[in-house]
Structure 1
Amino acid sequence: MNRSFTVKSEGGLLTALATPCHVSQAFNPANGVPDCATIQFNACWDTGATKSVITQRVVEACGLKSIRAIKPILLQGVDGFERSAAYVINLSLPDKVTFHNFTVVSKNPGNVWWDVLIGMDIISTGEFSIRSVNGKTEWSFSYASRKAAS
């Protein structure tokens, strides 16, 4: 099943690509839905990010446990390398584009408006387009469901 969504600016060009998203602890829906909260956060779509990132606010709100608690991974950002933990989550985007058992890394970006950074590990799984129409930004993401996502 194909799922897609389009975001249109209300006035002028956008300075960031944003959508709401929902995050929960990882689970396989084929085994039923566990009793864990799905919480809405703001997502920023970033074609310059190789990997998707969550903030500490997501980790705490969802009660996530690091999968690499003993040996942190190094995350390269614009400010160089920093130690980071990896987490496995379920991530839902608009139009029920959902990634189950999806690995993300955490980062402390400071005071930002987003809590989830959607990187190329998600963007490259679908069709992503952005354009300017009559001085307004329109962008869309289309995803063909696979066994790993629905």
Structure 2
Amino acid sequence: MTDHAAPPVDQKHRTASTGGSDWASGGTVFAGVLMMVTGILSVLNGIAGIAADDVYTRLGSYVYEFNLTTWGWIHLVIGVLVAITGWGILQGMDWARGVGIGLAALSMIEYFMFLPYAPFWSIISIAIAVFVIWALATAGRPSTTK
């Protein structure tokens, strides 16, 4: 009598049998990396706005018009929070998913209001925030069984 053991599971092809959980975890990791990168870029953007008021030019008048130094501080503070939260997501912290969704939504609002100063970067940042919200909202919850 021969023992017919099941063949080993190929880890690369588990997405079909696990319901896409590898996609969800990959999206969460990618969202964390995107948050860290965009947070750091936002910090640099903020420093540029604080250091020199003439870094950005406006494309006409706008309802949400702030001084560029004010925009610099807004980008700096939100950028630091986004980068820290991205790090928390990569570390698997429980608080990071909810905070990440909230900060991505805040970032969308921030860059909508910043459209006249940097329209192309603002549109890219809004698209990144949409992906981050989707990735963090659709990621599976960790197992609570003991």
Q: Which one has a larger percent strand, Structure 1 or Structure 2?
A: 1
Structure number with greater CO (CA < 8 Å, separation at least 6) is 1
Structures share fold, TM-score greater than 0.5 = no
- TM-score in terms of structure 2 length: 0.25
Q: Which one has a larger percent helix, Structure 1 or Structure 2?
A: 2
- TM-score in terms of structure 1 length: 0.24
